């Protein structure tokens, strides 16, 4: 984003974070709506001293509609499926209208329907002009809108370049030290082993 060094507090508003650790922290007796609103305060849930403004409420409404979870917003996150809860966590990450969303292993513990729903939301976010940084071991998480892949092996950059050059059977076999075949369906890569 044009800077080598950032004050962490300035950087926070530029990034939206979606991680499994944060999902565990948010899986308490907070509603989906409260989880989204808590993103304005960088907190888990809302606290009595948080002043939620009408503008924040309107932004939360927009995000909840965008993620198609209006029907779930008053349910506690702890009572939701993993996929439903993950969408509210994405909403929490979107409240500051960040330039970039960071997804760390976003589909862990999700069933096929929830994975598909999350992939659709990620694609909509990318198509809306947001950058996505994705950390994953699952090839099908790499949505068609992602064009660059950086592969890491033993803490070192193994490959950095265009997706089509990265996601080949030979390169992935070397990376994972195991035979891998690749199938591509609807611009989504799948590993076969």
3-class DSSP state for residue 158? strand
What are the pLDDT digits (tens) for 126-184? 999 999 999 999 999 999 999 999 999 999 999 999 999 999 999 999 999 999 999 99
The pLDDT value recorded for residue 108 is 87
DSSP 129: T
Place of tokens 């979870």: 69
Structurally, the chain folds into a number of domains equal to 1
The Cα 118–Cα 105 span in angstroms is 12
Q: 133 is in which domain, residue-wise?
A: 8-146
Task: Output the domain CATH number for residue 75.
Answer: 3.40.50.300
User: Within 10 Å of residue 22's Cβ, how many Cβ atoms?
Assistant: 15
The predicted model scores a pTM of 0.86
Q: Are 52 and 97 in contact (CB under 8 A)?
A: no
CA angle 132, 54, 12 (to 5 degrees): 30
3-state helix, strand, coil in the chain (%, to 5): 45, 20, 35
The Cα 87–Cα 24 span in angstroms is 14
What are the pLDDT digits (tens) for 85-98? 999 999 999 998 99
Residue 52 lies in a domain: yes
Residue 85 lies in a domain: yes
């Amino acid at each position: 984003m044009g800077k080598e060094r950032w004050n962490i507090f300035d950087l926070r508003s530029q990034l939206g974070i979606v991680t499994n650790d944060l999902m565990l922290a948010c899986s308490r007796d907070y509603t989906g709506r409260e989880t989204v609103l808590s993103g304005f305060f960088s907190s888990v849930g809302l606290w009595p001293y948080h002043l939620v403004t009408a503008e924040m409420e309107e932004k939360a409404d927009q995000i909840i509609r965008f993620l198609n979870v209006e029907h779930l917003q008053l349910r506690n996150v702890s009572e939701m499926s993993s996929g439903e809860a993950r969408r509210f966590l994405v909403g929490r990450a979107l409240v500051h209208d960040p330039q970039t969303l960071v997804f760390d292993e976003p589909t862990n513990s999700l069933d096929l329907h929830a994975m598909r729903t999350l992939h659709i939301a990620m694609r909509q976010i990318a198509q809306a002009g947001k950058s996505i940084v994705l950390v994953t071991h699952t090839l099908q998480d790499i949505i068609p809108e992602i064009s660059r892949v950086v592969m890491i092996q033993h803490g070192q950059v193994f490959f950095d370049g265009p997706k089509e050059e990265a996601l080949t059977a030979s390169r992935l076999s070397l990376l994972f030290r195991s035979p891998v075949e690749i199938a591509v369906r609807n611009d989504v890569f799948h590993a076969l082993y």
